[in-house]
Amino acid sequence: MSENEDITFEDALSELEDIVHELEESGLTLEDALLKFETGVKLSRLCNKELDDAEMRIEQLTEDGVRAERVEIE
Amino acid sequence: MLYTVRELTQYIKHRLQDDPSLSEVSVRGEISNFTHHTSGHMYFTLKDEHSQLNCVMFRGANAKLKFKPVTGMKVVCSGDIAVYDKRGVYQLTVWDIQPDGIGALYQAFEQLKVQLSEQGFFDPARKRPLPMFPKTIGIVTSRTGAVLHDILNVIRRRFPAVRIVLAQTRVQGEGAAAEIAGAIKQLNKLSRTDPIDVLIVARGGGSIEELWQFNELKVAEAVFHSEIPIVSAVGHETDVTICDFVADLRAPTPSAAAEIVVPDREQLRQQIAGHKIRLDHAIRRTVEMRRDRLARAERGVVHPRDRINQLRQYIDELTRQIHTTVTHRLQLRRKDLSMLGATLHALSPLNHLQRGYSIVLRAPDRAVVNTIDAVTAGSDLQILVTNGMIGCRVREIKEGWDHE
């Protein structure tokens, strides 16, 4: 995993899936397996955080159609 | 009575045109000889099995038609009977045409569908997959009404981790199509600098007239040219619009569109939890496998210190064993010895001497004398008794013991 915290949810999830598969294949050295495991745990935490954190944000296209501005809609 | 042609024609014209039963009439028939003149006017004949009626529909009137009349179409024309002086013919001046049997809008819908289909607007190969996890969702709909509310509710419930960009438009009535098309274009334009991952074009259920704006070519073209994938959700499940056909995906309802566009957070949570469990399991298994292997390997390899200790122990054992053996042997020997001593004692000639026997030795060589052959008369003998020796000389020799 790149140390980049800006990894998208989609990328994080698919990387997590890859790691699960790699670990289950068990062709890794112990050292690699532990590293992968650590990364996997980090990714799952990151994914959950993405899911928990976010609040829906609503914007509306401005009259001239060039920008979107934040609005409150119930 | 003598008329000029013009006078008679004028008379007939007034008779016909003043007759209320010949104005605002509706005539059912089949269109034939249809021509749409460059002037914009339409000329055709309305006929049935027995008769024909010339018809003209002027530009102003036919511009409002939702569909294009064609030869062979069964229609109901509304208009007034008029006379065309120059050719001395009467004709129906048509104000409106309704397809006979099926509605005008339906007719128009079918026609546009065919046209766009031929132009590849509905080509399945053009349909793009929707993003799995959209970050920004554009919504084209009316700000008032339940539709927006429904969509936002579903998104909020399922996957609130998104940004919504709303482009509000009217969704019915003249001009709404232009607004919808415009909104789609604007969102596309915005998306070039501020990416929008997917668009929802939505409207609640309604009659075909109310949904009509979504059947306009303008909307179809805007959807067709959108760089952002579009989910169309116009009307209820049973309603279909041209917009639905052109879009990358048609959702049965606006709420369904929202469900299609965003993933389900709870499901994702479970999925992630599942991955986490598999991770834990896999790493535990990996470590255990290594541990087992190590244990197996360790059984084969002995540490040098262990080996030394083992040797030491072995030596100790050996020493102990030797000690035991030697002791045992010594004891055995001791026993042998004492037994030998006893035997020796038993065998000692002294015992015999004490019991009265004596040992006779020949004097010079101390050979035991046990037969008469060992001595001659005059030989010196020594007789051993318990406490000493008696020297003597042989006087006579006789064979056998019975001599008196």
Does B272 sit within 8 Å of A53, measured CB to CB?
no
* Averaged pLDDT for residues B355-362: 84
Please report whether residue A1 resides in a domain.
Answer: no
Task: Tell me what the mean pLDDT of segment B236-248 comes to.
Answer: 89
Question: What is the torsion angle, in degrees rounded to the nearest 10, for the CA atoms of residue A29, residue A31, residue A35 and residue A40?
Answer: 40
Q: What is the pLDDT of residues B9-56, one digit of tens each?
A: 999 999 999 998 998 999 999 999 999 999 999 999 999 889 999 999
Q: Looking at the domain assignment, is residue A2 inside a domain?
A: no
Q: Which residues is B202 bridged to in the sheet?
A: B233
CA of B283 vs chain A CAs: smallest distance (Å): 7
CB–CB of A23 and B283 under 8 A?
yes
Instruction: Show the domains of chain B with their CATH numbers.
Output: 5-101 (2.40.50.140), 134-263 (3.40.50.261), 352-393 (no CATH)
Contact yes or no for B161 and A51 at CB 8 A: yes
Q: What's the Cα-to-Cα distance from B139 to each of A58, B13, B41, B158, rounded to whole Å?
A: 10, 58, 41, 17
Residue A2: what pLDDT?
47
Mean pLDDT, chain B, whole residue set: 88
Query: For chain A, how many structural domains are there in total?
Result: 1
Residue A43 domain flag? yes
Q: Does A2 touch chain B (CB under 8 A)?
A: no
Q: Does the pLDDT of residue B363 top 80, yes or no?
A: yes
User: pLDDT tens digits, residue range B334-354?
Assistant: 887 777 777 766 677 777 777
Neighbours of B159 (CB within 10 A): 25
B55 exposed, middle or buried (CB, 10 Å; 0-12, 13-18, 19+)?
A: buried
Mean pLDDT value across residues B214-236 = 94
Segment B290-298 shows an average pLDDT of 81
pLDDT per residue as tens, chain A (74 positions) = 444 567 888 888 889 989 888 888 867 887 888 888 889 989 988 888 888 876 788 998 887 777 888 887 76
Q: Smallest Cα–Cα separation from A8: which of A51, A55, A68?
A: A51
The size of chain B, in residues, is 404
Q: Is the pLDDT of residue B394 over 80?
A: yes
Q: Count Cβ atoms below 10 Å from residue B206 Cβ, excluding itself.
A: 16
ipTM: 0.81
Q: CB of B217 within 8 A of CB of B112?
A: yes
With cut-offs at 50, 70 and 90, classify the pLDDT of residue B404.
low
Residue B211 · residue B244 · CB < 8 Å:
no
Mutate to test the interface with A, among B283, B288, B289, B291 (most CBs of A within 10 A): B283
Maximal CA-CA distance, chain B: 231
B291 touches chain A (CB under 8 A): no
Nearest CA in chain A to B272: A44
Query: Cβ–Cβ of B152/A58 closer than 8 Å?
Result: yes
- Cα separation, B141 vs B143, in Å, equals 6
Q: Rounded to a whole number, what is the distance in Å from the CA of B153 to chain A's nearest CA?
A: 9
Read off the pLDDT band of B251 (50, 70, 90): very high
Q: pLDDT tens digits, residue range B131-181?
A: 988 989 999 999 888 899 999 999 998 988 899 999 999 999 889 999 999
Report yes or no: B93 at the A interface, CB cutoff 8 Å.
no
Residues of chain A with Cβ-Cβ distance to B282 below 8 Å are 20, 23-24, 26, 33, 37
Q: In the predicted model, is pLDDT for residue B287 greater than 90?
A: no
- Which chain A residues are closer than 8 Å to B161 by Cβ? 9, 50-51, 53-54, 56
pTM exceeds 0.80 for this model: no
For residue A60, the enclosing domain spans 9-70
B300 vs B366: CA distance, rounded Å: 77
Q: Distances in Å between the alpha carbon of B166 and those of B122, B187, B214? A: 26, 9, 18
Q: Average of pLDDT values for B250-273?
A: 91
- The tokens for B387 are 């406490």
User: Is the pLDDT higher at B5 or at A32?
Assistant: B5
What is the three-state SS of B177-229?
HHHHHHHHHHHHHHHHHCCCCEEEEEECCCCCCCCHHHHCHHHHHHHHHCCCC
Higher pLDDT, B236 or B231: B231
